[in-house]
A and B are shown apart, each in its own frame.
Chain A
Amino acid sequence: MASMDNLRFEPPPPFAAGELLRAEVRAFLAEHLPKRSITDGVGSWGGSNREFSRKMGARGWIGMTWPKRYGGHERGALERYVVLEEMLASGAPVSGHWVADRQSGPLLLRVGSEEQKRAILPRIAAGECSFCIGMSEPDSGSDLASVRTRAAAVEGGFRVNGTKLWTSNAHRSEYMILLARTGEAGEQRHGGLTQFLVDLQATQGISIRPVHNLAGEHHFNEVVFQDVFLPAGNVLGEVGGGWQQVTSELAFERSGPERFLSSFTLLVELTRALGPDPSERGRIALGRFVAHIATLRRLSRSVAGMLQAGTNPAQQAALVKDLGTTLEQEIPEIARQLIDEEPDRDSTRDFVAVLARTMMNAPSFSIRGGTREILRGMIARGLGLR
């Protein structure tokens, strides 16, 4: 009995005011959503668009929950949730500020120095500043504690050597939050890790090389640090406290609507292709998808409510991501059986092109942000099995 309490989802707090905000966001999107190909940004949170990010910043929709003195707007996690899901459902290009808004900013807010917070948070909130996540390495994916990038203490700071891999958007970001080894791991393997704030444009010795994904798109990068000097002022949080900081960051990374809406554009196009009076099979598939998404929304809003109440629902977040990414991957597999067409990225027909792009991005859904197997391990821990 007690073990189940770790996985308890409180009902999402009632939130009637959210509907006003929702109408505001929809009106904004009707006016400002950039005209572009429907397949742009499929599976990658709409792609990057600095101009659009700035407009969102001007509306107060980035850094919504942060204190006003750092450029934030002191609004609730549920208000933020409304903005996020409306943006994703419309396919708006939000990936430029997504990581900074979701996890880098909140991390800075929690553990950053006053100087770091004042220098960076207002720029993120204005939509002027992108972040990437420097965690994974060639030999450290799911096993994050094994990172080998080394930051050796030197006069006035640290000298960094090593390679980060799968770093999404490094080539479009102003900053990276780097996880590096500054000391011995110790018996628990979690010691000796430190996070650094790295200015990717002003720092010498960093080279960024693209790694194209199987769809031919450039999101990933390899980022090599060669004798890179980072001043002591760039340490983020505690020296040696990196593990604790990273794991608390991940709860924010896992429960949002981006974990079940990655295939939503395809679902819209499937609905269009099926028409107003679909076959029985078509109806059943659509009804099931809607039921799943409605349920995931409730679970995700529940986590937002728990975050707002100050608890750390890390295991619930893992569960939402596991369920959500499973659905995201089912949508193309089921859609292709309902419309007898061959997927083709270059097709002028929206369903056919979106199907192709979604299908080719789908493997990443259950890998990025924690693999399915790692998440299920976390859920098992919540059940008291580990």
Chain B
Amino acid sequence: MSETREMLREAAERLFEKHCGAETMHRADGGEFPQALWRALTEAGYAAALVPESAGGPGLEMPDALSLLFSAGRHAVPAPLAETMLAGWLLSSAGLVPPEGALAVAPVREGDVPSVSRECGSWRLQGKASRVPWAAASAAIVVLARFEGRNLVAVTAPGDCRITNGANLAGEAREDVDFSGARCSAAAETLIDPAALHALGAVMRSAQMAGALQSVLETTVQYAQERVQFGRPIGRFQAVQQNLAVLAGQTAAATAAAEAGIEAAARDLDSPAVAAAKIRAGEAAGIGAAIAHQMHGAIGFTQEHRLHFSTRRLWSWRDEFGNEAYWARRLGGAVAAAGADRLWHGITAAG
């Protein structure tokens, strides 16, 4: 691991440890935006981690910046850090300077194609975007929109849009946004296309899932060492040990896949490693969450226990920015088209 990344990781762990305590988590679960956490991670430069130094960002290399999301996932950070990073990246690609505050990005679902039009010298957004993370709570919604066959980054205010409230299984806001003529405070052309936006979002969720699995593994191992049944800690039973070994394997696989996805994303968002990250981490999420709950028994199934902050996110994140089947269909289609005799070449080229 690079020295920068290790220093960043240690700092992020300290920050999230301090600001994602039980009270913050439960209040965020009830729909309250965690202001203190958000201030702290903005001051640390995390929200603008993908914004270049020239545009006011902290000047991190892309892989180092994305690696912050392992820590964010470990602590189930109940705020739009990944989304604001993604918005910053998108804005920078169009030469726009990110506004202050939490930012939302749209579209996040493949079928949604918002567009912009120019009316009386001002830009206006048309169309809809579904399941937009944190749309209403954001300071601005950053939209990748079509305009005369090109891609534009347009910035609008949530107050100008019709927003239908909603949430994912973890209670994180996921809202349907109807732009229907919303005014844009800025708009500029970008070379990023919707597929690339989708791909970077998928890599981000992969890293978050790997982080969440790391924390689920630690929590579950610790519980197995403390919980006593039949006169000994349940972690002494082989049946339990075998399950925890599987959980450890899935966690290691998700972490490795997400790391590979992050490295590839900095070079080429069309890389097979990007698809592989979301496929592998998403599969691990389902298996890992199931084992963690089985090992915790009834207590892990309650609201007062903290396990669900991670597992409900795992169940949500695996389906966001394309689920395993979505990415496997794409990757498998490309592999089949290249042909059987290129299969191994394709795998080694993926890193």
Contacts and interface: CB of A to CB of B under 8 A. Distances in A.
Interface of A: 1, 3-4, 7, 9-11, 22, 85, 89-90, 264, 267-269, 271-272, 274-278, 280, 282-288, 290-299, 302, 316, 319, 322-323, 373, 375-377, 379-380, 382-386
B158 interface: no
14 contacts: A85-B348, A89-B344, A268-B341, A278-B336, A287-B330, A287-B331, A291-B275, A291-B327, A292-B280, A293-B347, A295-B253, A295-B276, A383-B248, A385-B240
Interface string B330-343: 11110111011101
Contacts of A382: 248
Given A278-B333, A288-B283, A377-B245, 14 more contacts: A1-B218, A4-B214, A271-B339, A286-B331, A286-B336, A287-B275, A287-B327, A287-B328, A288-B279, A294-B280, A299-B252, A322-B245, A323-B252, A383-B221
B324 A288 contact: yes
Nearest to B277: A291
A285 B336 CA distance: 11
Interface string B316-336: 000000001101111111011
A323 to B, nearest CB: 5
A24 to B, nearest CB: 14
Contacts of B256: 9, 295, 298-299, 302
Interface in B248-268: 248-249, 252-253, 255-257, 259-260
Given A287-B279, A290-B335, A386-B241, A379 B249 contact: yes
A295 B242 contact: no
B195 to A, nearest CB: 16
Nearest to B233: A385
Given A9-B255, A323-B249, A382-B248, A286 B221 contact: no
A361 B275 CA distance: 31
B337 to A, nearest CB: 5
Nearest to B5: A11
Interface residues of B, number: 54
B236 A385 contact: yes
A222 B250 CA distance: 37
A290 B336 CA distance: 11
B221 A3 contact: yes
Interface of B: 1, 214, 217-218, 221, 224-225, 235-236, 238, 240-242, 244-246, 248-249, 252-253, 255-257, 259-260, 272-273, 275-276, 279-280, 283, 324-325, 327-333, 335-337, 339-341, 343-344, 346-348, 350-351
B246 to A, nearest CB: 7
A380 B328 contact: no
A375 B218 CA distance: 20
Given A3-B221, A290-B350, A385-B236, A274 B324 contact: no
Nearest to A315: B248
A50 to B, nearest CB: 26
Contact of B337 (A3, A277, A295, A319): A277
Contact of A271 (B214, B253, B340): B340
B245 A294 contact: no
Contacts of B280: 291-292, 294-295
B241 A385 contact: yes
A319 B332 CA distance: 26
Contacts of A323: 249, 252-253
A197 to B, nearest CB: 35
Contact of B252 (A7, A89, A272): A7
Contacts of A275: 336
Contact of B333 (A22, A287, A376, A385): A287
Nearest to B240: A385
Contacts of A10: 1
A287 B329 contact: yes
B257 A288 contact: no
A370 B176 CA distance: 52
Nearest to B258: A295
Nearest to B336: A278
A291 B224 contact: no
Nearest to A3: B221
Nearest to A319: B249
B335 A376 contact: no
A344 B276 CA distance: 33
Given A284-B329, A384-B225, A277 B249 contact: no
Which of B235, B238, B256, B331 counts the most chain A CB atoms within 10 A? B256
Contacts of B240: 385
A295 B272 CA distance: 11
Contact of A278 (B260, B324, B332): B332
Nearest to B324: A288
Contacts of B347: 290, 293-294, 297
Contact of A11 (B1, B221, B344): B1
Nearest to A268: B340
A88 to B, nearest CB: 10
Given A377-B245, A385-B224, A385-B225, A284 B350 contact: no
B245 A379 contact: yes
Contact of B335 (A89, A286, A373, A385): A286
Contact of A284 (B236, B328, B340): B328
Contacts of B253: 292, 295-296, 299, 323
Nearest to B331: A287
B206 to A, nearest CB: 11
B252 A9 contact: yes
Contacts of B218: 1, 4
B276 A291 contact: yes
Given A382-B248, A385-B235, A385-B241, A283 B276 contact: no
A1 B17 CA distance: 14
B225 to A, nearest CB: 7
Contact of A294 (B242, B260, B329, B336): B260
Q: Looking at A85, A284, A285, A319, which has the most chain B CB atoms within 10 Å of its CB?
A: A284
Contacts of B214: 4
Contact of A276 (B260, B325, B329, B336): B336
Nearest to B242: A376
A369 to B, nearest CB: 16
